[in-house]
Amino acid sequence: MACTFICRLHDFCRWMNRRPVAFAVIFALLGTGCGRQPSGTSPLFPAPQGTTWGFIDNRGKIVIAPRFEAALPYSEGLAAVKREGRWGYIDLIGSEVIPIRYRTVQSFRNGFAIVDAGLPDHPVGLIDTSGSWVTPPLFRSLSAADGPDGLLLGQKEPAEGFGFYDRSGNLVLGPYFLAFPFAQGRARVKTGVRASSDDWLIEASGTFLPRKPLVLDGMRFSEGLIAIRQDRKLGYMDLAGNIAIEPRYDQGGEFAEGLAAVQLEGHWMFIDKSGALTAEFPGGVAFAEPLSDGLSLVSADRDQPGGKFGYVDRKGQWTIKPSWDDAQPFHEGLAYVGTWKAGKTAYIDHKGRIIWEGQDGRSVSRHRCGNRRGDGKAPNDFPISMRCRSSAARSACVLQEILKGDASVEREASRAIYDCSQLLPKDYSSQLCRDLRALVWNARTWQAPDGLLESSVQQIGPFIKSMPKRG
């Protein structure tokens, strides 16, 4: 889906507590996850009311009254909020602690946040919790690793490629044709455009790990494993470079909470780190995301008008049957869901009970990639997945939105790229779609290398437009 509710406003998806798809996304796309609340503090959740945003607690009580144009989840005691087109940060009582002056921002991680100051050419740098520059705005794009002392992945000039920098802005590793942030001491880099021979894993020292006769499918390691492909089948490799789970699946996501959701012959299931089957999903599941708060967000019949989202537990059983037009993974005991009718939105608990209900006044106003969903009834302003019954059309729509800088479509994009990999001729899907998925995952976390993404879209465009509608 297009993440049109709490995630749809500008930059929210990448901060929801996701361990990427996928979303993914992708970016996963590469998600950073929501930050933790200070010890002993009840979590607060961004909540829209009409066209303004405030914050509620986990009982649905309004704690900070709606007064912002947009808001992101709290991370390390601070939340990013938007007012008059600019972003800043507030504390847990709603006081502005970092001035609202940035064009775009990310949530704080390990005491730092990446912000775009809106300067020409090189607007992006790193600030601390006082708002002081730690890394001056020297970059066109920037992202952080998953550890407190991790290197920054950035690009200063389009011709330079992507490199890993210290916090003073000095180049430490690279540059590379394309790179992804370090996770668990490993990073994926590409030294060229070829699918496998230019695709590498490196250590923090910059040492290239020995190449395997396989293709990297995942963008990063998660819980010690990364998805790989061999003969077009998906499996998993460990940190030592050994195949931990033999490639046999058609699709699969990252490991989270000890399990990964994988697809085999059209059926979704959970496997553990040994590759053993632990649970099968109910029939009709079309896509499954990694576990979050013990539940997996799944979509059912997503290519049909009326396809819905629901949640399954670790045993593969429905906890909340598909009933929502849009939904987010659970985080801190709640999940954000919505229906397209009248822009209704809600937070629900693990039993599906509505804890808070509101209305996003902009929930059907952002994505205009077509004018019908397949049965001719949906208007222009319905979400992409309800209007574009053709996966090809949906792919084209989503990629256009990504190019416009709208990171809020990342989940829809991850699914569109999956469709792309299934529908394009194999000589293109085996390389180009994987790269597109990687780029979409990065777009979710403001790591998208714009030039390469645009180039990829230009390459794939003719094939997307020529593909017949599904169903």
Q: What is the pLDDT at residue 287?
A: 82
Give strand ranges (E) for 24-182: 45-50, 52-56, 62-68, 70-71, 79-83, 86-90, 96-102, 104-105, 112-116, 124-128, 133-139, 141-144, 152-155, 162-165, 171-176, 178-179
Question: At residue 78, what are phi and psi to the nearest 5 degrees?
Answer: -125, 145
Type of residue numbered 458: Q
Over the chain (471 residues), the average pLDDT of each successive run of 10 is 26 27 25 40 85 94 94 93 95 96 90 89 90 93 72 84 90 88 88 72 90 76 91 90 93 93 93 97 88 92 64 96 88 88 85 89 36 32 33 47 46 48 43 48 39 44 42 36
Q: What is the pLDDT at residue 101?
A: 95
Q: What is the pLDDT at residue 136?
A: 92
114 Cβ neighbours under 8 A, 6+ residues apart: 105, 106, 124, 125, 126, 142, 143, 144, 446
Q: Are the C-beta atoms of 398 and 369 separated by less than 8 Å?
A: yes
Q: What is the pLDDT at residue 146?
A: 64
Tabulate helix, strand, coil % of the chain (nearest 5). Answer: 20, 35, 45
Q: Residue 416: left (phi > 0), alpha (psi -120 to 50), or beta?
A: alpha
Q: Which of 394, 429, 422 is nearest to 409 (CA)?
A: 394
How many angstroms from the chain centroid is the CA of residue 328? 11
Q: What is the pLDDT at residue 284?
A: 85
Q: What is the pLDDT at residue 18?
A: 30
301 Cβ neighbours under 8 A, 6+ residues apart: 284, 286, 307, 308
